[in-house]
Structure 1
Amino acid sequence: MFTSREGVTLDSIAAPLRRWLLNPVLTVPAALVLSGFATATPNTDSIKFLVPVCALVLAGVLLSLNDYLDKQFANNWVSDNTWNWDEEIVVVTGGSVGIGASICDQLLARNSRTRIVVIDYAPLGWQPKQEETRLSYYQCDLSDSNALRSTCERIRSEVGHPTVLFNNAGLVRGVSIMDGSYGDIEATVRTNLIAPMLLAKEFLPEMVKRDHGHILHTGSLSCVTPPALIADYAATKAGLLALHKALQLELKNIHNAPRVRLTIGIFSFIRTALISGHTNVPNFLLPLLHVDTVGEAMVSAVYSGYGSTIYLPGFNRVASTLRGGPEWFFRILREATANFRINFRGRHEVDSQTGKILKA
């Protein structure tokens, strides 16, 4: 009950407590029953429990109200009941391994008829468990805008117009701004930020025309608390967050497509080939996330039919909130990243002059 793929963590304990102790559906009736007992028999112990139960009711109502408002504002107060996962076309960038492979696997587990298109430079590193799936693979260096444009044209021609886009592909070089090459920076920015923008540009017109679709971005806590050695990577993730927020307003106010959904995940370190090592932070507070934990959260978001911001672990929400607090306090929090023992070199080989990806 209190465990997860990452072990016993703050999230694994807080989630069930939230479902039970801070659930107004459960706490309001309990408060009413205790109130009735306290009124009928004033000298009983029920009065002792009434105050804490009422406090739980108030906290639960406020949290539920906040969740409701978050959901409605993120989705323009409109629903979309037209989702048909036999007909949806889902594009997953970086879908050959890691988070992308987990997303594909979980999509197929939910509905093996869903058409999935994987775009990646690396060869497809997995095979569907289900029979007769509709899976397509397109090899593409996403840092090359011409190759990206050509690949998108092929997808529309050969598969159809995508209705879901997982902007998941990314790379990290793990060097300081001064020590990194031109190629390191250019490959990182083109793959992690420019490619998601161009992919959105390619596939959004049909989504807007239908007022139906969902774009999901794999973000990072580094956009809030960037550690040393990944300044370029963190900058792209901050840009991805800005893209997410700007698109929310553009879709609603400029393109009149309030039902096209947008989701971004603010994730801490994930056990993928991009990093190795440990954070020197207690696993209870900031665990290294399993790829299936992230994939599950992203797929659950798209299946909900609503856009959202996903914070994993939940501490990331606190860190994001603290960003608006006193600068000195937030600096102390950021200084803690100096204790990380993480190798950010990743798996990619990049041409140091041109930024062209040589090996993924």
Structure 2
Amino acid sequence: MPTSISREGLTIDDVGRLIRRTVLNPYLTLPLAAAIVYFEKHPDHYRDFHLQELHELLGIDLSLLSRIGTYLTGFGIAGATLAANDQLTHLFANNFTSPAHGEWTDWSKEIVLVTGGSSGIGQNVIQGLLERNPRTTVVIVDYAPLSWTVPENAQKSIHYYQADLTKSDVIRSVAARVKKEVGHPTVLINNAGIARGFTIMEGSYGDVESTLRTNLTAPFLLTKEFLPEMVRRNHGHIVNICSMSAFLPPPYIGDYAASKAGVQMLHESLQLELKHAHKAKRVRLTLAIPSFIQTPLIGASHPRQNNFIFPLLHVRTVSEEIVDSLYSGYGRTIYLPGIMRYLTSLRGAPEWVLRMARESTVKIPVDFKGRQVVDVETGGIKLEDHEA
């Protein structure tokens, strides 16, 4: 957990972390409250510690100290409740299991497949993994060539496959090649995503189909391709990239929002299937639910939103959370910014409250026009040429 101010500047997450470490830290507040109660019941000990003189020196009324003890008790109970909630969330997300002995400790033995690794989140996740262990085998599947230079010490670790993820036959072919040429991935990061930026009425058939196939169908099919070996070994980790739009869909990206809501359902269904149908409780699942991120998906747009509440996330902020989750050996849901965990609960709020929240998205000026060249009839994506 970071100890300094976020790279996005001071945000509500920074304040929240500070409060959790101090006022809502039960390991701090409850012992202090217990000490106050103890001295109230044993005034002789109170005098033995010369606290009476200290209070007189500071001008603190003893009745105030009693009230402080009450507040500390309340904060301590609240903090303990939050800590218990966090622990239960962690346990259920991982089927009450811990990694096997030695599991997820040697990343030179892992094979990580990342879709959309040529830029954005995918690029930064890969770079983060290679920074920790340059011998980690990474498979990149993308329609575009790499926009970044692979480090010299990791040249042999990278395997690139250019593919149009809107086509199921291409996915099947690439998956077969990866298994044969590299091996079965132990980590699958379904990161590739596109947005076309049209209203539902104005978007072409191709715009809708390319968005849904890339963002939703491809994660389903890739999971089908690589999950069996993970289940057989009871070892693996699948990361799915969701979005705030799955809960608060703005205009102009209805197809994108629908695809991300589908990704969430994929994640949640798979959680139960791994536990009950496949008995593979140690195959981990992580779901990332970020707000706006500085990636090519939103182009040069800069959403004018309150940076303290909804900062425009640096792509490294998101990728670091994903890499940390992978290295922990546990799955989880990543909310960025942290307030997202509370916004998701708006789906259960009265309809007028949810409508007001969704209305606020209309005021966010973002250019969602995709940079991909899409066939308006078939929904296929034109592959970009490699630079000579």
Q: When the two structures are superposed, what TM-score results if normalisation uses the length of structure 2? A: 0.89
Distance 2:210 2:377 in 1: 10
Distance 2:120 2:138 in 1: 16
For 1:355, give the aligned amino acid: G
The answer for the alignment partner of 1:63 in structure 2 is 82
Q: Does 1:188 pair with 2:190?
A: no
Q: Distance in 2 between matches of 1:346 and 1:23?
A: 45
Q: Output one character per residue of 1:109-132: Cα deviation in whole Å (capped at 9) or x when no partner.
A: 111221111111110111233614
Question: For residue 202 of structure 1, what is the amino acid of its counterpart?
Answer: E
Q: RMSD between aligned alpha carbons? A: 1.5
Q: Identity across aligned pairs (percent)?
A: 51
User: Is 1:74 aligned with 2:97?
Assistant: no
Structure number with bigger Rg: 2
1:18 is aligned to 20
Q: Does 1:144 align with 2:167?
A: yes
Larger strand fraction of residues: 1
- Mapped partners of 1:307, 1:26: distance in 2: 28
Partner of 2:307: 283
Q: 1:301 aligns with which of 308, 311, 325?
A: 325
* 1:205 correspondence with 2:224: no
Q: How far apart are residue 151 of structure 1 and its match?
A: 0.8
Q: Deviations over 1:247-287 (max 9, x none)?
A: 01111111111111111111111111111423332111111
Structure 1 unaligned spans of 5+: none
- 1:158 aligned to 2:181? yes
| Paired residues of 2:164 and 2:381 also in contact (CA < 8 A) | yes
1:328 maps onto 2:330 in alignment: no
Amino acid in structure 2 at the alignment position of 1:126: W
Distance (Å, rounded) in 2 between the aligned partners of 1:108 and 1:29 = 43
> Helix, strand or coil for the counterpart of 1:198?
helix
* Deviation of 1:315 (Å): 1.7
1:90-139 Cα shifts (integer Å, max 9, x gaps): 11110110110000011111112211111111101112336145111111
* Whole-angstrom distance in 1 between the partners of 2:77 and 2:85: 12
Counterparts of 2:150 and 2:65 in 1: how far apart (Å)?
A: 57
Displacement of 1:33: 2.2
Gaps of 5+ in 2: 47-60
For 1:121 and 1:142, locate their aligned partners in 2 and report how far apart those are by CA, in whole Å: 8
Q: Which residue of 2 aligns with 1:119?
A: 141
1:222 maps to a residue whose letter is S
What TM-score do the two structures reach when normalised by structure 1?
Answer: 0.96
SS of 2:153's equivalent in the other structure is coil
Cα shift readout 1:224-249 (whole Å, capped 9, x = no counterpart): 00000000000000000000000011
Using the alignment, how far apart are the partners of 2:192 and 2:67 within structure 1? Answer: 55
Q: d(CA) in 2 for partners of 1:7 and 1:341?
A: 21
Q: Secondary structure at the match of 1:341?
A: coil
For 2:41 and 2:191, locate their aligned partners in 1 and report how far apart those are by CA, in whole Å.
57
How far did 1:24 drift? Answer: 2.1
Deviates more, 1:120-129 or 1:311-320: 120-129
**1:169 alignment counterpart:** 192
Partner of 1:337: 361
**1:226 aligns to what?**
249
Per-residue deviation at 1:346? 2.4
Do the aligned residues in 2 keep the contact of 1:350 with 1:359 (CA within 8 Å)? no
In 1, the alpha carbon distance for the partners of 2:72 and 2:139 equals 50
Determine the structure 2 residue equivalent to 1:236.
259
**Comparing 134-143 with 202-211, which one deviates more in the overlay?**
134-143
Are the counterparts in 2 of residues 141 and 147 from structure 1 also a CA contact under 8 Å?
Answer: yes
Q: Per-residue CA shift, 1:26-64, capped at 9, x if unaligned?
A: 223222222223333487353232012111111111001
Residues 207, 213 of structure 1: 8 Å contact kept: yes
Letter in 2 for 1:101: Q
Q: Cα deviation per residue 1:58-77 (whole Å; 9 max; x = unaligned)?
A: 11110011011111111111
Give the corresponding residue for 1:246: 269
Q: Does 1:358 align with 2:382?
A: yes
For the pair 1:92 / 2:114, whether they are aligned, the reply is yes
Give the stretch that moved more between structures: 36-45 or 280-289: 36-45
Name which of structure 1's ranges 44-53 and 73-82 shifts more when overlaid on structure 2: 44-53
Mean Cα displacement is larger for which, 278-287 or 143-152?
278-287
* Separation (CA, whole Å) in 2 of partners of 1:187 and 1:135: 27
Tell me how far 1:180 sits from its aligned partner: 0.4
- Report the count of equivalent residues: 360
SS state at 2:159 partner: strand
3-state DSSP of counterpart to 1:349: coil
Whether the aligned pair in 1 keeps the contact of 2:164 and 2:382 (CA below 8 Å) is no
Q: CA deviation at 1:359?
A: 5.0
How many Å separate the matches in 1 of 2:292 and 2:339?
12
1:217 counterpart letter in structure 2: N
